Amino acid sequence: MGTVDLAIAIGGAAGQGIATPGNILARILVRRGLHVNVYDAYQSIIRGGHIFLTLRTSDEPILSHGDKLDLLVALNQDTMNRHLRLMGAGSAVLFNADRIKPGEAAVGVQLCPFSVKKLAPGVKGDLVQNTIALAASLRLMGVDFTILEETLAGHFRSKGSAVISENVGVARAGYDYANDHFRPFPTPLPDTGKPLAFLDGNTALAMGGAAAGVRFYCAYPMSPSTGVLHWMAAHGRQLGIMVRQVEDEISVINMAIGAAHAGTRAMCATSGGGFALMTEALGAAAMMEVPVVCIDVQRAGPATGVPTKTEQGDLWQALGAGQGDYPRIIVAPTTVEDCFHVVPELFNLAERFQCPGIILSDLLLSEGRFSIDPAELDFTVPIDRGELIGLNGTDGHSANGEYKRYEITPSGVSPRAIPGTEGYVHVVATDEHDEDGVLISDEFTNPIKRQAMHEKRMRKMDGVLQRIEAPKLFGPVDAPVTLIGWGSTRGVIREAMQQLAAQGITANNLQVKWLVPLHAEAIIDIVGQAKTTIIVENNYSGQFARYLRSETSIVADGHIRKYDGEPFMPHHIVEGVRAVLAGTAKQYVPVHEIAV
């Protein structure tokens, strides 16, 4: 990490306004050019329960929310009871002493009590302690008060000058009290001079859709995918995107397919339970050769599972989404930048090869909030609509003057006509059909035509494979340990590699993003040089390990799996690697020690 690496946690109950100070703090930090990684562990109730927001900041890019806590802001007694024992030397704990009593703290932990009654006499509302704690936190980090004053003024602008004045006054009292009574952290937070953007993965997916030219978006709200719908609903009218909240996920996918069939770029998003309802329609899209993009933001299952927790448990559902064999493209973004970039890339592939595209994100990535270089959000992306008749001079193939929508071609791709294109009338059906779209099973199922049409569709995957980037090895080629992951585990694996290196164990990382089609030969070449292979994934059964073995015959030497709903922390992977190397475990399952 850089010269500064601080992790701040804010804990309390739902309804205590934890998100507001977290967001204000994050925005102050990114405006100073500091990198931020925010993970919010919360429960699926409106009030009560335990919420624990972790914000890590540094002047260098952050790979995960880390292992340690430097500052704990306890907004209730429950948070103090759960987390004080985990605070180490050099850390600090802020709390309202009017209501919260600390327990036994470790040596070197600075307890920082303040009194809301004394610092904000006469100010009503339970959220006053949040403002005081936020101000005190910034003082401990060496951030000038004027920055907080400006941020509060902007945050409360819509509520009028009286509310701004009250909050600034309360913040000033908390800031000055911290200055007089608490010991600041040794290194003040710097200002790099290059402000960063701050967004969550769902927002990045939605913005990627806008960059891709999406003109129709629909969804049924389902955590943790709902953020995509929120962004689209807020900005759709301005961007010329029709946005619809639909009654259920079956309707969602069918509306999206209908819009895509009509010629627009259409996208939808859901989580695992909703995706389960979409699977038959995805097969229909493949049979009709309609390009549509569906996002599955994974959460802990099965059934409704744990709605507010993360998992990588939907891989095999996506692999088998719908009966029979059909071409589909599946990608699992590895970073928030990927969330933005893969959407235009996937749309180009889906339209070029006229098949469904599936994005497998998860709660960690989609609801996590991250700093990002604004230059990454480039909306001037190339648009490839494939063999679309009337576009780029594509005339379409015909025989005897008749348009064959599903003409058998070497690539498996047939020129596509949007309904209503003059001279290109055709039949589109979900039953197997001939080149002109006419069903082959009404009177006699022609096995030769069925085989030829089936092979035509599946040939598309060969073309897709040539257009997607093969995974590359990160780290020394001759490292004794190769950590294999997919999707969102990239950051935490690479931070674990740093910790392993400090302990004298060199590792490299093969992170797979494009899952279907899979660059099997490239993976076999890389893993063939590995000495010890360990697969890291957030599920119980090792879904990616099973998939990799089925496609490549690779059997890993060890496995690190986590399926308690919480994401990996770097030390979990470090401990797992050490256990595998020592021969004490072939499959290591870490225990999440923080009671969230």
Taken in order of first residue, the domains within the chain and their CATH numbers are 5-181 (3.40.920.10), 198-376 (3.40.50.970), 398-467 (no CATH), 473-588 (3.40.50.920)
Q: Report pLDDT for 396.
A: 58
Q: Which residue's entry shows tokens 């079956």?
A: 250
Strand 293-298 to 507-512 pairing: unpaired
CA 206 to chain CA centroid, Å, is: 12
Q: Which two tokens stand for residue 474?
A: 């990160």
Which value, to the nearest 10 degrees, does the dihedral of the CA atoms of residues 359, 360, 363, 366 take?
Answer: -30
Output the tens digit of pLDDT for each of the chain's 596 residues.
678 999 999 999 988 888 889 999 999 999 999 999 999 999 888 788 899 999 999 999 999 999 999 999 999 999 999 999 999 999 999 999 999 999 899 999 999 999 999 999 988 777 899 999 999 999 999 999 999 999 999 888 888 888 889 999 999 999 999 999 999 999 999 999 999 999 999 999 999 999 999 999 999 999 999 999 999 999 999 999 999 999 999 999 999 999 999 999 999 999 999 999 999 999 999 999 999 999 999 999 999 999 999 999 999 999 999 999 999 999 999 999 999 999 999 999 999 999 999 999 999 999 999 999 999 999 999 999 999 997 655 565 554 568 999 999 999 999 999 999 998 999 999 999 999 999 998 778 889 999 999 999 999 999 999 999 999 999 999 999 999 999 999 999 999 999 999 999 999 999 999 999 999 999 999 999 999 999 999 999 999 999 999 999 999 999 999 999 999 999 999 999 999 999 999 999 998 765 44
DSSP state of 216: E
Strand 197-200 to 398-399 pairing: unpaired
Q: Report pLDDT for 596.
A: 43
- On whether the pTM is more than 0.85, the answer is yes
Burial class of residue 394 in the structure, from the number of CB atoms within 10 Å of its CB (0-12 exposed, 13-18 middle, 19+ buried): middle
Residue 304 near residue 286 (C-beta atoms within 8 A) = no
State how far the Cα of 94 lies from the Cα of 115, in Å rounded to an integer.
11
Closest CA to 147 of 230, 28, 24, 246: 28
The helix (H) or strand (E) run that includes residue 342 is: helix 336-353
Q: Report pLDDT for 441.
A: 81
Burial class of residue 412 in the structure, from the number of CB atoms within 10 Å of its CB (0-12 exposed, 13-18 middle, 19+ buried): buried
Q: What are phi and psi of 71, to 5 degrees?
A: -140, 125
Angle, CA of 441, 447 and 453, to the nearest 5°: 85
Strand 48-58 to 5-14 pairing: antiparallel
Q: Which residue's entry shows tokens 């089925």?
A: 550
Crossing angle (nearest 10°) for helices 201-212 and 226-239: 40
Q: Report pLDDT for 126.
A: 75
Question: Residue type for 253, please?
Answer: I
The percent of the chain in helix, strand and coil, each rounded to the nearest 5, is: 40, 20, 40
Closest CA to 339 of 363, 321, 355, 315: 363
**Cα separations in angstroms, 538 against 170, 206, 311, 591:** 43, 24, 5, 13
Edge-to-edge strand list for the sheet holding 197-200: 110-114, 92-96, 71-74, 5-14, 48-58, 35-41, 369-372, 197-200
Strand 369-372 to 329-331 pairing: unpaired
Cβ-based neighbours of 553, under 8 Å, separated by 6 or more: none
For residue 331, the cross-strand partners are 359, 514
The helix (H) or strand (E) run that includes residue 173 is: helix 161-181
Angle, CA of 408, 409 and 413, to the nearest 5°: 95
**Cα separations in angstroms, 279 against 267, 401, 472:** 15, 36, 31
Q: In 182-335, which ranges are continuous DSSP H helix?
A: 201-212, 226-239, 249-261, 272-288, 315-319
Question: Residue type for 368, please?
Answer: G
Q: Which two tokens stand for residue 447?
A: 């096995």
Closest CA to 587 of 542, 544, 548, 552: 542
Q: Report pLDDT for 395.
A: 62
Edge-to-edge strand list for the sheet holding 473-474: 473-474, 507-512, 481-486, 532-537, 558-561, 587-588
Q: Is the peptide bond before 590 cis (omega within 30 degrees of 0)?
A: no
Q: What are phi and psi of 207, to 5 degrees?
A: -65, -35
Q: Which two tokens stand for residue 258?
A: 């209908």
Cβ-based neighbours of 150, under 8 Å, separated by 6 or more: none
Residue 128 near residue 116 (C-beta atoms within 8 A) = yes
Residue 331 near residue 515 (C-beta atoms within 8 A) = yes
Closest CA to 366 of 488, 538, 225, 201: 201
Q: Report pLDDT for 442.
A: 72
Residue 199 near residue 369 (C-beta atoms within 8 A) = yes
How many residues are listed for the chain in this entry? 596
State how far the Cα of 257 lies from the Cα of 255, in Å rounded to an integer.
5
State how far the Cα of 35 lies from the Cα of 490, in Å rounded to an integer.
17
- Give the tens place of pLDDT for each residue, 470-490: 999 999 999 999 999 999 999
State how far the Cα of 79 lies from the Cα of 14, in Å rounded to an integer.
12
Give the SS3 label for residue 35: strand
Q: Which two tokens stand for residue 458?
A: 């599946």
Burial class of residue 363 in the structure, from the number of CB atoms within 10 Å of its CB (0-12 exposed, 13-18 middle, 19+ buried): buried
State how far the Cα of 35 lies from the Cα of 29, in Å rounded to an integer.
7
